[in-house]
Amino acid sequence: MGPKKKPQKGNQQGGPVKMTRKEKALAKKIERERWREVARRMEQERLQKEVEAVAKAKEEARIAKETHDAWVKAEEDRLTAERNSMKEFYDWRKAEIIRIEAEAKEASDWKRYLESSRLPHASNEAALNTFLDVMRETFDQELEPLMETLIDIFMVATGAEEICLTREQKGDAEGVAIYRSYMQRLYDLADWRLDQTTAYLLHRSHEYWRDKQQNIFCAKAQNWKLAFWINHPKNPRFRMLDLPEVDVAMNLPKQFALANVAIRLQHRMADPITKSKNSYMAIGGTFVIDVLGIPPPSKIVKNWTLDQVSSTLSSLIRIGYPIPVIGQATPAPGAVLPIGVVFFLPDYIIHLNANPEVGWWDEEEEIWQTDGVTDILYEADSRKVSIQTTKAKTLAVIHNRVRQFPYLSWNIRPISEQGAVMTLVTPLLTFTIEIGIGWCKLLAPVFSECTSFAAEEVPPKVMLKRFSKCGIHLLPSDDDAEHIKATVKDGELERFTCLDMAFAAPAFTIASSKWNISLDKDHCLVRLLEVPDPVAPPTLEKSKVVKTLNYTIKGSALAELSEKADSYSEVLLTEHHASLLLALKGNVLDESLQKVEKGNAAFTECVKDLAYALRLFSFGP
């Protein structure tokens, strides 16, 4: 027999060889190492690809940035070159405006010299400061001279306000601040003079009552009214205070009958300087009710007149309403009995509502409030206003100052190379304004309330402010957009657009685009239509050659845009240019461009000032 054979691993049928535990562990280890190597290589490849992708992205970004920067620089260089090419035009225009304004000022100064007014003109700051100082050296002891003084002060204040408005037109922020300060000082001066006379009158009121049985004093001058009721009689049945001398009546609650108080009423034809933080504004001046304390009477002892030293000798004790009672809590607002007041709207007020709103001035919040003023009745024929109020404060007929915004449409059509007519359509009215060399005037609607000044040719903002005081407010500001649907355009862009489009006024109808309101703050749209003959101008609605300009801060570009389309779709036809004079070159008649280039500078400046005062792009369609 031969040697014994070792038993073979695996089964007898040739199956896989069974591995020992160590062999299995070794095999698993080798497999893990293999997969780790695969994973490591894959991770290396992934990281390498990421590095390459980042490098590629950086390179692409660098190339894109260099390309963009090169394009931006080329654009800036091109626009700079265009602006430089316009420098001669701008310099000529500036010199023309200075010359024309100097001539206008010389004529105005000569006219004032011939009129030789006793009041200082607000443009003369030295005379204005002297007036402010001298007027604080004394006070009026009678109501009639006081009324003359107050009217004089507010006439000077109106002059300061109109200079402030012209400074705003020119963008002179420093000048605006100076004249707003003058206006505030003049208003404060008027209050001081009124309070000094009031304190003097109250101090002497005991004498008037003792000698003449007089406790009511009234004065009226133009539309200004002032009245005092001093409760010396202490009549428990007294309720109705009728003051026909100043067209005012009051129905007083019984608390006044025995109270040691005086009531001062004043209807001043000056609106507050401070703008209300809500959307209300006053029209027709303010109607002020002051409840004041009466100083103690003088005593005569052995031919000596003895006055008790009191703050009311030089100042006032403002009691207010409801009248406080010692030992009693202030009544709840609902428990305060209202004061009945009847007064009349001034004849220069344009009142568009069937029934006016009346509010009171909240000094703390700086807004016009309407709570506490009820039962408002208005008789249109007599312009009589009747109210019930628990507020013995500054009252006024108020209206919503944004009711004319946003504008529905506007256009400026040339009537000559030095004149144009603007048509402005608002939600309430359609206005027609003539524009001339440095002046504007309203042609329509014709308001009988404003005939005293409607035909005057004055700077745009002065005209708009005068009508605002009458109830036609067309001077929006950025904060008004909070109360309506409007897109406030970038300030620099809107000023540039108004200036640049105004150049076209001698030869083109300039008009609004309905798509302007849908664009963001960095774009403005203007439509232009050539007018070869102002006597027979083409119409925007029928013409097929209306051009649209898209304005950005860079300049203007011609665009293809339909006003009849249902949605906004614009295609720029040209690149942006520094001025429409360049954007239109080759796209309009040479004769039209020549009119634009030679247009009267003061006329186009007035078009610009009116357009920006109205804020046509922020508050237009």
CATH number assigned to the domain comprising residue 319: 2.60.220.50
> Which pLDDT score is estimated for 439?
94
How distant, in Å, are the alpha carbons of 25, 166, 238, 251, 506 from that of 233?
A: 121, 53, 9, 17, 71
> Which pLDDT score is estimated for 75?
84
Percent of the chain beyond pLDDT 90? Answer: 60
Q: Are residues 483 and 587 located together in one domain of the fold?
A: yes
The amino acid occupying position 574 is T
Is residue 190, in this structure, part of any structural domain at all?
yes
Task: Work out the average pLDDT over 462-466.
Answer: 93
Q: Are residues 204 and 280 located together in one domain of the fold?
A: no
Task: Work out the average pLDDT over 143-169.
Answer: 93
Whether residue 607 has pLDDT greater than 50 = yes
Is residue 578, in this structure, part of any structural domain at all?
yes
Q: Are residues 182 and 241 located together in one domain of the fold?
A: no
Is residue 396, in this structure, part of any structural domain at all?
yes
Q: Are residues 163 and 295 located together in one domain of the fold?
A: no
Compute the distance between CA of residue 595 and CA of residue 507 in angstroms, rounded to an integer. Answer: 6
The amino acid occupying position 290 is D
> Which pLDDT score is estimated for 66?
87
> Which pLDDT score is estimated for 426?
96
Burial of 329 (0-12, 13-18, 19+ CB in 10 A): exposed
Is residue 39, in this structure, part of any structural domain at all?
no
> Which pLDDT score is estimated for 305?
61
Q: CA angle, 521 as apex, 515 and 522 as ends, to 5°? A: 95
Number of domains in the chain: 4
Q: Are residues 373 and 224 located together in one domain of the fold?
A: yes
Q: According to the 3-state scheme, what is the secondary structure of 518-534?
A: HCCCCCEEEEEEECCCC
pTM of the predicted protein model = 0.84
Is residue 183, in this structure, part of any structural domain at all?
yes
User: pLDDT tens-digit profile of 224-265?
Assistant: 899 999 999 998 888 899 999 999 999 999 999 999 999 999
Looking at 380, 400, 420, which one is the last position of a domain?
400
Is residue 28, in this structure, part of any structural domain at all?
no
Q: Are residues 107 and 123 located together in one domain of the fold?
A: no
Is residue 30 helix, strand or coil? helix
Cβ atoms of residues 404 and 67 within 8 Å: no
User: pLDDT tens-digit profile of 571-606?
Assistant: 888 889 999 999 999 899 999 999 999 999 999 999
Looking at 75, 94, 111, which one is the last position of a domain?
111
Q: Are residues 423 and 503 located together in one domain of the fold?
A: yes
Between the two ends of the chain, the Cα-to-Cα distance in Å is: 120
Q: Are residues 482 and 423 located together in one domain of the fold?
A: yes
Count H helices and E strands in the chain, helices first: 9, 23
Tell me which residue range forms the domain holding 389: 215-326+335-400
Whether residue 25 has pLDDT greater than 70 = yes
Burial of 2 (0-12, 13-18, 19+ CB in 10 A): exposed
Q: Are residues 205 and 219 located together in one domain of the fold?
A: no
User: pLDDT tens-digit profile of 200-215?
Assistant: 999 889 889 988 999 9
Is residue 129, in this structure, part of any structural domain at all?
yes
The amino acid occupying position 89 is F
Phi/psi class of residue 477: alpha, beta or left (left: φ > 0; alpha: ψ in -120 to 50)? beta
Q: Are residues 244 and 99 located together in one domain of the fold?
A: no
At a CB cut-off of 8 Å and minimum separation 6, what does 542 contact? none
Is residue 566 helix, strand or coil? coil
Compute the distance between CA of residue 226 and CA of residue 192 in angstroms, rounded to an integer. Answer: 15
Backbone dihedral angles phi then psi of residue 103, each to the nearest 5 degrees: -65, -40
Compute the distance between CA of residue 26 and CA of residue 499 in angstroms, rounded to an integer. Answer: 88
At a CB cut-off of 8 Å and minimum separation 6, what does 594 contact? none
> Which pLDDT score is estimated for 32?
87
Looking at 176, 210, 244, which one is the last position of a domain?
210
Compute the distance between CA of residue 377 and CA of residue 342 in angstroms, rounded to an integer. Answer: 9
Compute the distance between CA of residue 65 and CA of residue 433 in angstroms, rounded to an integer. Answer: 50
Asked if residue 296 has a cis previous peptide bond (ω within 30° of 0), the answer is no
Q: Are residues 479 and 385 located together in one domain of the fold?
A: no
Q: Are residues 187 and 302 located together in one domain of the fold?
A: no
How distant, in Å, are the alpha carbons of 59, 384, 402, 551 from that of 489?
A: 38, 42, 17, 11
Task: Work out the average pLDDT over 430-452.
Answer: 92
Is residue 71, in this structure, part of any structural domain at all?
no
> Which pLDDT score is estimated for 2?
52
